[in-house]
Amino acid sequence: MIALAAALRDAAQSVARVAAGNSLADEFERVAEQGTETPRAALIDLTHGTLRRYGRMQAIVSQLSRRGRPDALLEALLWCALYALESGRYAEYTVVDQAVRACALLERWSAKGYVNALLRAFLRERGSLEGRINADPQARYQHPGWWIEILRATYPAMWQEVLAAGNSHPPMCLRVNPRRSSVAAYLAKLEDAGIASRVLADQAVLLDKPVPVERLPGFDSGEVSVQDAGAQRAARVLDLRSGQRVLDACAAPGGKSGHILESADVALTALDADAARCARLERNLARLGLGARILNADCRQLGDWWDGVPFDRVLADVPCSASGVVRRHPDIKWLRRNNDIQAFAVRQASILHALWQVLQPNGKLLYATCSVFASENDAVIDAFVARTQRAVRLPLLDGAPAQALPDAQGDGFYYALIQKQA
């Protein structure tokens, strides 16, 4: 059981850094560089699970602590231990014992009695705690208060479902590469591998349960990619045709770029402002047996990358709040601030302004976000179309609404297709 104590230690260190403002992705990079005895799967479970329930964990510690707020690292340990208790993965006595042992691993020897007492108090008072906790919306819905209010105002009939989806475990969806396999052939391979699945649409295959990528038959040879069903809409609604010049303006890590190249014989230029992410994009396309012109550049700085030849299609998968994929990145909802959303909208408008200049007359630009906030979506597009001559918003080719909300099959994405009239 020393392994659980070590896992609680490692998870508490990462969660404490996230609470201080670091991203969870950066934390996992740090852990990978420094090394740890904790299996990655166990660390993901403890960190992601704790951060999905962060508001609840905070409220429980606040209710039960008899000596005021503990120091940041000890508080993070309590959050992780409470998640472990609620997860049902371990016996209750085991979690309490191992959390106390983790105090020593964190050099918080004097806190052993406090941690033991608080966790045992939680087990005794769990029933009476619920009423007190549920009175606080942030603890009940496990999202920041401002986030809850935005969703309540935007989706009056659905806001609770959207919040619940944000706290759930994400589905695992695959995209079959038609240049390497067929959906029917790949489904047979999954069945042979003992992986239950079903087809959602076109090349999208939803697994009944997530599995490690290493278990996916043909992954290394490019037969399949992991890509959410919502993200797979992009290539379907971009109206691709062979021979087109296509720009993926914010392309890394390359999921949508790969899908574009799998869907049609186009000349693709893929941009990203992050050099490391460009390298990852190149590796992902190589695995699929595909090629593109990959440039490390800010799409808004046209002089740095554009050769003056316009594009037939432009995909603007713009930076956003990521509020539609927060269950995959549970730290985001606690790191974001309300004023960040308007800052994203300003940046999104500047990207649209720049990319409009590289679009061919009669060409089409697809604006995409993984956000459920209207101020990043309809508000940005409506303002752009209103102020831009020759900009006409078109219906999406799949007939589905622009805004998809997260559910059991896919994440929350938004798409708007705009044509530049000749």
Whose tokens are 């239950």? That residue is 196
- State whether 215 and 328 are in the same domain: no
Q: Residues 206, 210, 213, CA angle at the centre, nearest 5°?
A: 100
- State whether 137 and 273 are in the same domain: no
154 inside domain: no
Catalytic residue set: 370
| Residue where a domain terminates, one of 94, 126, 142 | 142
> If you average pLDDT over every residue of the chain, what do you get?
95
Exposed e or buried b per residue across 279-310, where buried means at least 16 C-beta atoms within 10 angstroms of its C-beta: eebbebbebbebebebbbbbbeeeeebbeeee
Domain of 223, CATH number, reads 3.30.70.1170
Phi-psi region of 254 (alpha: psi -120 to 50; beta: other; left: phi over 0): left
Q: Which pLDDT value is given to residue 415?
A: 98
| Residue where a domain terminates, one of 195, 212, 227 | 227
- State whether 266 and 204 are in the same domain: no
CB neighbour list of residue 237: distance below 8 Å, 6 or more residues apart: 366, 396, 397, 398, 415, 417
150 inside domain: no
- State whether 347 and 407 are in the same domain: yes
* DSSP, residue by residue, 298-347: -TT-GGGT--S--EEEEEEE-----TTSTTTSTTHHHH--HHHHHHHHHH
Q: Which pLDDT value is given to residue 2?
A: 57
Confidence category of residue 127, pLDDT binned at 50, 70, 90: confident
- State whether 241 and 388 are in the same domain: yes
Q: Residues 348, 394, 258, CA angle at the centre, nearest 5°?
A: 65
Nearest CA to 147 among 117, 128, 167, 127?
Answer: 167
Once rounded to an integer, what is the mean pLDDT over residues 316-333? 96
- State whether 264 and 197 are in the same domain: no
Distance CA 359, CA 366 (A): 11
390: helix, coil or strand?
A: coil
Q: Which pLDDT value is given to residue 201?
A: 86
Confidence category of residue 31, pLDDT binned at 50, 70, 90: confident
342 inside domain: yes
Confidence category of residue 35, pLDDT binned at 50, 70, 90: confident
Cβ proximity of 204 and 174 under 8 Å: yes
Whose tokens are 């009423």? That residue is 131
| Residue where a domain terminates, one of 187, 204, 227 | 227
Q: Which pLDDT value is given to residue 361?
A: 97
Once rounded to an integer, what is the mean pLDDT over residues 197-208? 95
- Residue 97's domain spans which residues? 2-142
Distance CA 77, CA 73 (A): 6
- State whether 103 and 184 are in the same domain: no
Tens digits of residue pLDDT in 132-168:
888 899 999 999 999 999 999 999 999 999 999 999 9
User: How many domains are contained in the chain?
Assistant: 3
Please report how many Cα atoms fall inside a 13 Å half-sphere around the Cα of residue 52, on the Cβ side: 23
86: helix, coil or strand?
A: helix
Domain of 406, CATH number, reads 3.40.50.150
- State whether 246 and 376 are in the same domain: yes
- State whether 101 and 191 are in the same domain: no
pLDDT at 179 over 80: yes
Tens digits of residue pLDDT in 252-291:
999 999 999 999 999 999 999 999 999 999 999 999 999 9
Tens digits of residue pLDDT in 45-102:
999 999 999 999 999 999 999 878 889 999 999 999 999 999 999 999 999 999 999 9
167 inside domain: no
158 inside domain: no
CB neighbour list of residue 47: distance below 8 Å, 6 or more residues apart: 11, 14, 15, 18, 24, 27, 80
50 inside domain: yes
Distance CA 257, CA 270 (A): 7
Nearest CA to 253 among 210, 214, 201, 288?
Answer: 288
- State whether 179 and 302 are in the same domain: no
Alpha helices (runs of H) in 20-109, residue ranges in sequence order: 24-34, 40-52, 54-64, 72-87, 92-105
- DSSP 8-state class, residue 273: S
pLDDT at 177 over 70: yes
- State whether 220 and 326 are in the same domain: no
Which of 21-30, 139-148, 183-192, 288-297 is predicted least confidently? 21-30
164 inside domain: no
155 inside domain: no
CB neighbour list of residue 212: distance below 8 Å, 6 or more residues apart: none
Nearest CA to 228 among 418, 66, 404?
Answer: 404
Domain of 47, CATH number, reads 1.10.940.10
- State whether 399 and 330 are in the same domain: yes
Tens digits of residue pLDDT in 392-401:
999 999 999 9
